[in-house]
Amino acid sequence: MKQRRLSADLAMIFNVGDYRRDAVKGYAGKEFFDPDNTEAVAIRNLCAQNALEDMCNYLQNEGEVAIFDATNTTRERRRTVYNHCVEACYFRVFFVESICDSQEVIQANIREVKLKSPDYKGVLDTVAVEDFLSRIELYAKQYEPIDGKNDEKHYSFIKIFNCGERFLVHKTRGNIQSRVIYFLMNIHVLPRTIYLTRHGESTRNVQQRIGGNAPLSEAGKVYAEALAEYIDNENISDLIVWTSQRQQTIETAAKIDAPKEQWKALNGINAGIFEGLTYREVAERYPEEFAARDRSKYYYRYPGGESYHDLIARLEPVIMELERAENLLVVCHQAVARCILAYFLDKD
């Protein structure tokens, strides 16, 4: 199980594969996924039921969003999930079906995702690929696509074809489902690199002043030179550079030989009436505000400005663009970099 935050929503992943690995010590091989293997089917069904019950228990207590991570390739399995969650527990259910019929996409997905699975730890790549391809054939024997007809016509779902070539959305309900669709339509699984750096030291940094739009200091200019040299030596194909609209980020990226885009959403956190002050001056002039910020930096909102909570909401469209981007360098500000890193490193 893995817990993460989707904006303000507390979410957890319940992976049936983890339950199966706990129940069956060691990977039993592709034969375990044969629909004609009645003993294995019983074990897999029990693992799915245990994961489903744990998920519903989580949602009935502290949870707000849960992800039931399983194949769910038959109408019977989807009906079990739907009935348990909706009719027994009164939760909303949104199915996500990924369909790959491109051999190129399948091979890339196996190399980039499946070979890292605990099932194939210590297994030669060639053996793992052959085994997983056999598992796909076994899944296909009992696969029944979700189609929005007959007894599944009332389900909410999205179908993703070949990792984003095409999408089909059916009966979207509510804000969370809309956000999930937005997320799924922007991600990709192909390998790429995102470089993230704070801007070089600015004259405001030297003065220890909060926020502002300031040129680089001499040390900041040295950093900008070093950054440009580093990026040039990396020889990154099709690199794009994003900066904020603040002078210090633009100057930091100026000597990098790559297309550049300025994003207002990447501007530093708005410190409101504290812009241009030092933290010592804030403590002396506004002791109550200074103490409030120390108590909760995440939710504290600068008077006339933003909180980290506000900043994350502002950055959500940027993060979605990062998800769909290829090789990219982001030159931004400290608070912005913290939020982006927290998202990609799965940190609260």
What confidence tens digit (pLDDT) does each residue in 184-210 have?
998 876 778 999 999 999 999 999 999
pLDDT grade for 25, boundaries at 50, 70 and 90 = confident
pLDDT confidence of residue 183 = 87
Mean per-residue pLDDT, 125-145: 92
Residues 137-144: contacts with CB under 8 Å, at least 24 apart: 138/30, 138/33, 138/34, 138/35, 139/33, 139/71, 139/73, 141/35, 142/35, 142/73, 142/74, 143/73, 143/74, 144/73, 144/74, 144/75
Spatial distance between the Cα atoms of 27 and 249, rounded to a whole number of angstroms: 50
pLDDT exceeds cutoff 80 at 124: yes
Which of 100-109, 130-139, 190-199, 261-270 is the most confident on average?
Answer: 261-270
Percent of the chain with pLDDT over 70: 97
- Render pLDDT for 294-323 as a digit per residue (tens, 0 to 9): 999 999 999 999 999 999 999 999 998 998
Give me the pLDDT at residue 37, please: 94
Identical fold, 11-185 and 194-345: yes
Q: What pLDDT, on a 0 to 100 scale, did the predictor assign at position 4?
A: 47
5 pLDDT higher than 80 = no
Q: Where are the domains of the chain?
A: 11-185, 194-345
**Which homologous superfamily does the CATH classification assign to the domain defined by 11-185?**
P-loop containing nucleotide triphosphate hydrolases (3.40.50.300)
3-state secondary structure of 129: helix
Q: Is 204 annotated for ligand binding?
A: yes
Parallel, antiparallel, or unpaired: how do β-strands 240-243 and 260-262 relate?
parallel
Record: fold of 194-345: Rossmann fold (3.40.50)
Whether residue 199 is annotated as binding a ligand: the answer is yes
Q: Full-prediction pTM beyond 0.85?
A: no
Phi, then psi, of 185 in degrees rounded to 5: -80, 0
Amino acid at 192: R
201 labeled binding residue: yes
- Judge whether residue 133 has pLDDT over 70: yes
295 is in an annotated binding site: no
203 among annotated binding-site residues: yes
Over residues 162-181, the mean pLDDT reads 92
